[in-house]
Amino acid sequence: MQPTQALPPSIFMDIQRSGPIPLYFQVASRIEAAIADGTVPPGTRIDNELDLADRLGLSRPTIRRAIQELVNKGLLVRRRGIGTQVVHGAVTRKMELTSLWEDLSSSDQQPETRLLSHTVQPAADAAASLGVAADSPVLHLRRLRLANGAPLALMENYLPEPFADLTPEALQEFGLYQLLRSRGITFRVAQQRIGARSATAEEARLLEISRHDAVLTMDRVAYDSAGAAVEFGHHAYRPDRYSFEVTLVDR
């Protein structure tokens, strides 16, 4: 866990206490600029509202509003038991047939996987999505994906029997789609559904968010060039660090 860092006094030197610009806006702007230029790096836990108000000689409501402005912009996040923290670089995912591992790598963020479970089991509820019988063996994976050391997504995937021999070691070192492509799979199309809901207790713990905070969700079935389903997954993402980008075209 990052230690709490007092915001450098120098970033507040030019605050005008008797001008037309609201004080909360000036404070928020100075902190935002310090985040943008790297003076206050991602993951930093900043001093609390009361300490910052005392240091700057401003009211606590002024500081609270400034911090809330930055929370609303997605630059800071309040986390129970941790405090106020600078958000790690957010990931914007375009609607393309790529994996989260690939998206992180292409945006210069370091992906990391923690494998939570790796079992071969009957397809059961995943059978219809994969187009197999309910008693067919499938590989069931649950993984926590981190970016630059911070939790980003909880991912659950089902793969048909030909891929049941994917090893835990390979899944921790490489992205799932990388491994499938290395076996000659060519992804052609996917059906995908995006939504949002409250986090479960386990999701809140693993993603380091508060219970009942919202999570973004994505369900996907990916198909190869022969039209066979090769992967069914449903994932939950931290919304303060992740978003989807869609291009709309008028026909």
Query: Contact, 187 vs 157, CB < 8 A?
Result: no
Identify the pLDDT of residue 114.
94
3-state SS assignment for residue 58: coil
Select from 235, 219, 233 the least CA-distant residue to 140. 233
29's enclosing H/E stretch is helix 23-36
3-state SS assignment for residue 235: strand
Handedness of CA 4, 204, 103, 142 (dihedral sign): positive
Identify the pLDDT of residue 73.
74
For 3-26, what is the mean pLDDT? 81
Q: Concatenated DSSP letters for 115-158?
A: EEEEEEEE-GGGHHHHTS-TTSEEEEEEEEEEETTEEEEEEEEE
CA distances to 31, 65, 75 from 59, rounded to whole Å, are 17, 10, 22
pLDDT-based confidence at residue 38 (cuts at 50, 70, 90):
confident
Identify the pLDDT of residue 102.
63
60-72 vs 23-36: helix crossing angle, rounded to 10: 50
Identify the pLDDT of residue 95.
44
Quick check: 105 pLDDT over 70?
A: no
Q: What confidence tens digit (pLDDT) does each residue in 46-77 have?
A: 888 888 899 899 999 999 999 988 887 777 87
pLDDT-based confidence at residue 90 (cuts at 50, 70, 90):
low
245's enclosing H/E stretch is strand 242-245
Domain ranges of the chain: 4-86, 91-245
Which of 74-78, 86-90, 194-198 is predicted least confidently?
86-90
Quick check: 132 pLDDT over 90?
A: yes
Q: What confidence tens digit (pLDDT) does each residue in 154-182 have?
A: 999 999 999 999 999 999 988 898 899 89
Task: Specify the fold of 4-86.
Answer: Arc Repressor Mutant, subunit A (1.10.10)
For 136-145, what is the mean pLDDT? 96
Average pLDDT value for the chain: 84
Identify the pLDDT of residue 99.
60
Quick check: 150 pLDDT over 80?
A: yes
Q: Which of 100 and 213 is assigned the larger pLDDT?
A: 213
Which CATH number does 91-245 carry?
3.40.1410.10
